[in-house]
A and B are shown apart, each in its own frame.
Chain A
Amino acid sequence: MGEITVLHYLVVAAALFILGVIGVLTRRNVVIILMSIELILNAVNLNLVAFSRLYGLHGQVFSIFVITDAAAEAAVGLGILIAFFRNKETINVDEIDLLKW
């Protein structure tokens, strides 16, 4: 348990990022895929905020933009999900394989 440097935060962020990627690539449930995307975005946020310790507040400002983006993404993604569920009664990505129905 030495001094905590920015690198420590970066490692945590990288781990979260990879977890998110695994979730996106392997799960079938759209809701959980969207949550995994949130994990990825959060990993990025953590990176940005950690770097703001080194390079000034720009990172924090950017992380706020990322959060905004995440909100927009979640809203639209879940909207699509609901529209989709209404038509197909499934939320598994590998069953969403038609361009129209």
Chain B
Amino acid sequence: MTDPTTTLSRNPLDLDESRTFLDANELVINMGPQHPATHGVLRVILKLDGEKVLGTECVIGYLHRGVEKIAENRTYTMFNPYVDRMDYVAAVSNALGYCEAVEKLLNVEAPPRARYIRSILTELNRIASHQLWLGTHALDIGAMTPLFYTFRDREEILKIFEKYCGARLTTHAFRIGGCQYETYDGFEKDVLNFLQFVAPKIDEYEELLTTNRIWVERTKNIGVISAKDCIALGVTGPVLRASGVKWDLRKAQPYAAYKDFDFEIPIGQNGDTYDRYIVRMAEMRQSLRIIRQAVDAIPEGPIMAKVPKVIKPAVGEIYHSIEAPKGELGYFIVSDGSTQPYRVRVRPPSFVNLQALDLMVRGALVADVIAVIGTLDIVLGEVDR
């Protein structure tokens, strides 16, 4: 196999008009940016032999908003809401990563109660993110119904968010040094009710899909990626775990309150689309377990650490990463001692995982590209930032 960057011409859409299907080494199809299955505005240029994929080239940047540059012109506090807009389906995780990174830079630690609240919300958000992934992924493969089931159940999570901080999607729930809001009355009850409610629903999704012959045929041995390739490409999150690598930052370098919880890291063996599905389903169940433990053990106490009114970290740099629903979400912050960061660099899991697309779909069919894009669980807001 040749490298797609050399086999594709620089301007892939500049096609030779006389070339057609039969000398199909050259059929180039432009998928996206307005394509229903590219999860936003991803543009994938596919080089096809008939329906077989010879190579892909992702064209990104349609949703670029310069989040990292904006950070340089905002104070640390002011930049906090911007991170919510990156991976907008897992906004809580983004905020957690940013806040913890800045806290690390400031050498403060959020109080235990804040850490527990953070864990609960982040895990709820993980479930919401996986639900949204499942719905859209299933829709890509042609199953309409799971989308509506998952959206129905995701709604319950968003309701809890709304009650907690007033926002549903871009929550802006955390502040540097802890949480802005104390939990509302009945928060624990709401969360426990949700756990009660959603556990059978996850079984319901599995009932629809896990043993469905068509689903299995469409996902087994599709988009296979080995553990070695994953590590070489820096792929993280469920994609990495489905390839059999037991790597989860919640265990590997616990943050928030994760070292207090007992949970397992589900892994797969084949690294195919089906395994990634299974891993994510198992992760949702593990998240439920974590939330239950967190709600049971949530300590009393303050929710904000002592943080100066004007955040002015000392000169230095920090890299902190967390396990976002999609993989390792890292923030690299350089401080020049002023109130504004000198440079913020985000390591978005979607962006890194997207690089594996070409490797995973070589030799597969067009329909598999759809399935693989779905299974990578990318959010273009995060890829383009």
Q: Do most interface residues of chain B lie in helix, strand or loop, or is the interface mixed?
A: loop
What is the CA–CA distance of A89 and B23 in the complex, to the nearest angstrom? 9
B252 part of interface (Cβ distance < 8 Å): no
Q: Which residues of B lie under 8 Å from residue A82 when comparing CB positions?
A: 22
A86 part of interface (Cβ distance < 8 Å): yes
A85 part of interface (Cβ distance < 8 Å): yes
Q: Which residues of A lie under 8 Å from residue B18 when comparing CB positions?
A: 89
Q: Which residues of A lie under 8 Å from residue B23 when comparing CB positions?
A: 86, 89
**Chain B proximity mask over A82-101: 1 for CB below 8 Å, otherwise 0:** 10011001000000000000
**Chain A proximity mask over B11-30: 1 for CB below 8 Å, otherwise 0:** 00000001000110000000
What is the CA–CA distance of A33 and B28 in the complex, to the nearest angstrom? 32
**Chain A proximity mask over B117-161: 1 for CB below 8 Å, otherwise 0:** 000000000000000000000000000000000000000000000
What is the CA–CA distance of A86 and B18 in the complex, to the nearest angstrom? 13
Q: Which residues of A lie under 8 Å from residue B22 when comparing CB positions?
A: 82, 85-86
Query: Chain A's nearest CB lies how many Å from the CB of B367?
Result: 24
What is the CA–CA distance of A82 and B21 in the complex, to the nearest angstrom? 11
Q: Chain B: which residue is nearest A85 at the CB level? A: B22
Total count of chain A residues near the partner, CB < 8 A = 4
What is the CA–CA distance of A82 and B22 in the complex, to the nearest angstrom? 8
What is the CA–CA distance of A89 and B18 in the complex, to the nearest angstrom? 9
Q: Chain A: which residue is nearest B19 at the CB level? A: A89
What is the CA–CA distance of A85 and B21 in the complex, to the nearest angstrom? 11
What is the CA–CA distance of A43 and B23 in the complex, to the nearest angstrom? 36
Query: Chain A's nearest CB lies how many Å from the CB of B23?
Result: 7
What is the CA–CA distance of A85 and B18 in the complex, to the nearest angstrom? 12
Query: Chain B's nearest CB lies how many Å from the CB of A78?
Result: 12
Q: Which residues 3-44 of A sit at the B interface, judged by CB distance below 8 A?
A: none
Q: Which residues 1-60 of B sit at the A interface, judged by CB distance below 8 A?
A: 18, 22-23
What is the CA–CA distance of A85 and B19 in the complex, to the nearest angstrom? 12
Query: Chain B's nearest CB lies how many Å from the CB of A95?
Result: 15
Q: Chain B: which residue is nearest A86 at the CB level? A: B22
What is the CA–CA distance of A89 and B17 in the complex, to the nearest angstrom? 13
Query: Chain B's nearest CB lies how many Å from the CB of A36?
Result: 23
What is the CA–CA distance of A86 and B19 in the complex, to the nearest angstrom? 11
Query: Chain A's nearest CB lies how many Å from the CB of B25?
Result: 11
Query: Chain B's nearest CB lies how many Å from the CB of A86?
Result: 5
Q: Which residues of B lie under 8 Å from residue A85 when comparing CB positions?
A: 22
What is the CA–CA distance of A89 and B22 in the complex, to the nearest angstrom? 9
Query: Chain A's nearest CB lies how many Å from the CB of B116?
Result: 67
What is the CA–CA distance of A101 and B23 in the complex, to the nearest angstrom? 17
Query: Chain A's nearest CB lies how many Å from the CB of B302?
Result: 76
What is the CA–CA distance of A82 and B24 in the complex, to the nearest angstrom? 13
**Chain B proximity mask over A58-101: 1 for CB below 8 Å, otherwise 0:** 00000000000000000000000010011001000000000000
What is the CA–CA distance of A86 and B22 in the complex, to the nearest angstrom? 6
Query: Chain A's nearest CB lies how many Å from the CB of B27?
Result: 14
Query: Chain B's nearest CB lies how many Å from the CB of A81?
Result: 10
Query: Chain A's nearest CB lies how many Å from the CB of B271?
Result: 37
Query: Chain B's nearest CB lies how many Å from the CB of A80?
Result: 13
Query: Chain A's nearest CB lies how many Å from the CB of B162?
Result: 61
What is the CA–CA distance of A55 and B18 in the complex, to the nearest angstrom? 53
Query: Chain B's nearest CB lies how many Å from the CB of A7?
Result: 46
Query: Chain B's nearest CB lies how many Å from the CB of A38?
Result: 22
Query: Chain B's nearest CB lies how many Å from the CB of A54?
Result: 47
Query: Chain A's nearest CB lies how many Å from the CB of B21?
Result: 10
CB-defined A-B contacts under 8 Å, sample of 5: A85-B22, A86-B22, A86-B23, A89-B18, A89-B23
Closest 6 CB pairs of A and B: A86-B22, A85-B22, A82-B22, A86-B23, A89-B23, A89-B18
